[in-house]
Amino acid sequence: MANRLIHEQSPYLLQHAHNPVDWYPWGDEPFEKAKKENKPVVVSIGYAACHWCHVMERESFENEEVASFMNNHFINIKVDREEHPDVDHLYMDAVQGISGSGGWPLNVFVTPERVPFFGGTYYPPQPLYNRPSWRQLLQRMNEIWTQQQDEVKAQTDQMLQYLRQSSQIAMGNADNDLINFDTCKEMAENLLKQADKKFGGFGNAPKFPGTMSINFLLEHYHFTKNEEALSHALHSLDAMLFGGIYDQLGGGFARYSTDKQWLAPHFEKMLYDNALIVLSLCDAYMLTRREVYKNIIVETIAFVERELQDKSGIFYSAIDADSEGEEGKFYTWKWEEWKAVIDDEIVSDFFGVSEAGNWEHTNILHVSKTVEELSQKYSLPAGDIEARIAIAKEKLFVARSQRIPPLTDDKSLLSWNALMNLALSRAGIALNDPSFLQKAEHHMGLLLENFAVQDGLKHVWKNGLARIEANLDDYAYLVHALLQLTSANGNEQWILKASELCDRVLKEFLHEEGFFFYFTSHHQTDIPVRKLDLYDGATPSANAVIANNLLLLGMCMERADWIEQGSSMISQMAATSRRYPSSFSYWAILQQRFAGEMKTVVSTGIDASTFHRQLQNMFLPHCFLLTSGKEISELPVLKEKYFSGESHIFVCTQKACLAPVHSVVESLHLISEY
């Protein structure tokens, strides 16, 4: 018999709709019931592509005995963390405060007032590795609730204080003296101290892509010509492109690697990861013009469009790690499966496939040897080997397509779609490919049509229905995407919409002290503590992106108050990002651009589009490029900059506009000098 989750839209919640646990979705009803019955609440948080979430469901939530105990002694709530990132952030902070670590599934015991008093992640069905079983933990929590209410009260009071303070730990004092290239050099050195020089990336396993850190190093090279920064950024990207974290047949990146060598991924594929890696690859391509980066950009976007795009044109969230109850089964190859499709020693050597296997008696495809190495080893022309590999890829892809695929999480999130929109428009600029820009424009129209409502934005969309209030990252990434589209194609309507949304953010999300922004709107009242999102997580800090948006919009709309707000946010974070650049990489990027003096560069006149394209082909991360062929413009930055029959380039800094010039070479001189 189905529980209440059967009426939900989230694939993750629907996966639990037939559990014997009497699950509620997140909302007021279960907490009202908990108050009435004086019961504690279990809030269990996960997502559809989470392997260990599936494991705990099979082991515990499908167990009739365990479910009976949960139903008798607790009110039980299932949360899709991607639908309710605010809820996830709050309870993840609590669990990290309790245990020092976090992850999913996230299982939290909370009061009817929604305040956590204990929590953890995965719990096994039997005690294991000094960890109690889920049943034992339930029994202990029930005892504490019924017999030690004083302890619960003390713990919740302490937890509320901790949660209110935890988001503000990263906030420092404003210090403009720290914003210069000396401190940027220090940030680069701190990042490179964490670099895995042998295998690429940062730190030990598990290894995440670290795209914001890579972007910082690429931009650091642009400003300082630090070869070590460029070398490690490219080494990290190359290691991922050639590793098992990249799907060598179908394109697209998995969420992270479980080993240092990037061989064995956690096989789930997330929309945001692929968007962010495309952005890093675009920067790398613009700096190096290496064809491999262009190819992977095209392949990754093709994967997203093939496997994560709704028929409407909006993008889904993720693809599961598991199929047929087994992690990675769709992507890996047993020797007999491989031999049924490929009987070519060179192709096997290229992909590192063997009878013994390279992971749990099966094979994860990766680039084991380069084409050049194989050419030398087998005394064959590189072109012949490339042709054999290309034919083999097609055969293998067709064969793999006959397998049972993993589940697709087919809900759409505004924040992640906005990141993908950034990736599309950035690819259009970097590769000089108008088709990607056209896709970005069409996609942006869909986002504004389907997620925007009269009173703001919604966070989730599925089957034609938008719901759940948008969070700060939804607004931040969407405004950033609108700004980039304006820069890419000169359509002023995008930036006017961005300005309108920025006004709403200032009215509904601003912290009482006036520096930073809450993750949730002041309209939202369903969590006990509003969180400040200052750290980078898997995606950039929403506050950092807002700071960037305020600076650019302030310069374009001639809003000195917005420029001051964005500047003060960067200044407040200067000391923290200097000390911990890996946790605050997007702030570090902004600090570095600020040190280089952020600029608007406006091309007007009969040669405006030519000038604009030439500037777009250059890597100028601290410059916001605009073009206009209109005599009358609604944008203050474009007013009185059009002269009939003449072409000009106007370079403006955060403080002043310089005299117009008449060539790209002259404009580049101004950009470098001021």
- The C-alpha atoms of residue 444 and residue 435 are separated, in whole angstroms, by 14
3-class state of residue 362 by DSSP: strand
Strand segments (E) across 10-51: 23-25, 41-46
Residues in the chain: 674
Contact 578, 186 (CB under 8 A): yes
Q: What pLDDT is recorded for position 606?
A: 87
Q: Considering only 231-235, 444-448, 514-518, 625-629, which range has the smallest mean pLDDT? A: 625-629
Residues 496-509: what's their mean pLDDT?
96
Q: What pLDDT is recorded for position 156?
A: 94
- The C-alpha atoms of residue 237 and residue 196 are separated, in whole angstroms, by 12
Per-residue pLDDT for 29 more than 90?
A: yes
List the structure tokens of 48. 């559809």
Classify the C-alpha dihedral 28-34-40-44 as positive or negative: negative
Q: What pLDDT is recorded for position 642?
A: 66
Confidence of residue 644 (pLDDT cuts 50, 70, 90): low
Confidence of residue 637 (pLDDT cuts 50, 70, 90): confident
pLDDT digits (tens, 9 = 90+) for 159-194: 999 988 876 666 666 677 789 999 999 999 999 999
Task: Answer with the residue of higher pLDDT: 29 or 525.
Answer: 29
Count of CB atoms situated within 10 Å of the CB of 226:
18
Q: What pLDDT is recorded for position 646?
A: 81
Residues 252-281: what's their mean pLDDT?
97
Residues 626-655: what's their mean pLDDT?
79
Contact 179, 594 (CB under 8 A): yes
Residues 539-550: what's their mean pLDDT?
97
- The C-alpha atoms of residue 71 and residue 62 are separated, in whole angstroms, by 13
What's the mean pLDDT when you consider all of the chain?
A: 94
For residue 446, which amino acid is it? L
For residue 2, which amino acid is it? A
Burial class (CB in 10 A: 0-12, 13-18, 19+), 205: middle
pLDDT digits (tens, 9 = 90+) for 62-102: 999 999 999 999 999 999 999 999 999 999 999 999 888 88
Q: What pLDDT is recorded for position 414?
A: 98
φ/ψ (deg, to 5) at 649: -125, 125
Q: Where are the alpha helices (DSSP H) in 519-638?
A: 542-557, 560-572, 574-579, 585-595, 608-616
**Residue whose tokens read 């938008």:** 466
- The C-alpha atoms of residue 259 and residue 252 are separated, in whole angstroms, by 18
3-class state of residue 254 by DSSP: coil
Per the confidence metrics, is the pTM higher than 0.85? Answer: yes
